[in-house]
Structures are given as structure tokens and as C-alpha cells.
Amino acid sequence: KLGMLYSQTNKTDQQIAVMEQLTALYRENPSNSWKWKKEVDLLLAEGYAASGREEEALAIFDRMIDEGSAIRSKTIAKACLARAHI
């Protein structure tokens, strides 16, 4: 929710920092189930895109699309649309 708040208030640097921290925590403990992984990836990629880090954003969007099904996931569908805008 904090990442969404930063996104909606155009605080991109804070959005990226929080999402990178969450991603790092997940990577340290990959055996833990993580319900919000897709959402964190989407917010991180959107933050990267908004800050001009398009290559990093595209890499995340591509990974999300390859790993998921747009038909079954609203988040993956959003990633497809966001990727198309870059």
C-alpha cells in the first residue's frame, strides 16, 4: 500500500526504494510464500519507467509477462499495457 501511495502522489524515488527493499527481502527468503510479488514487480517497473529507467522497467515487464497469464491476472494485464506504452 505504501508503494501505491508513493505512486499516486508522484513520489517515484520513494516508490522505487520501497519496492526494491521488498524485492530484496523476498530474494533473501524465497521459500516464503509472497502473495504480493506481482504487484510489487508492477510498482517497481512503473517507477523505473516513470523515472526514465526504461530498460529496467522493460526487463521486469517482460519477466512478468513470461511468468504469468494476462487472462488470469489483472496485474499481468496491467504489465502488458504498461510495457506497450514504453
Least confident of 22-26, 32-36, 56-60: 32-36
Average pLDDT over residues 55-64: 93
pLDDT of 27 reads 86
pLDDT of 15 reads 94
Answer left, alpha or beta for residue 52, where phi above 0 means left and psi between -120 and 50 means alpha. Answer: left
Question: What is the rounded distance in angstroms from the CA atom of residue 80 to the CA atom of residue 84?
Answer: 6
pTM for the model stands at 0.79
Q: Is 15 exposed, middle or buried (0-12, 13-18, 19+ CB in 10 A)?
A: buried
How does the average pLDDT of the chain come out, rounded? 87
Average pLDDT over residues 11-33: 90
Nine cell digits for residue 76: 499481468
Q: Is residue 10 helix, strand or coil?
A: coil
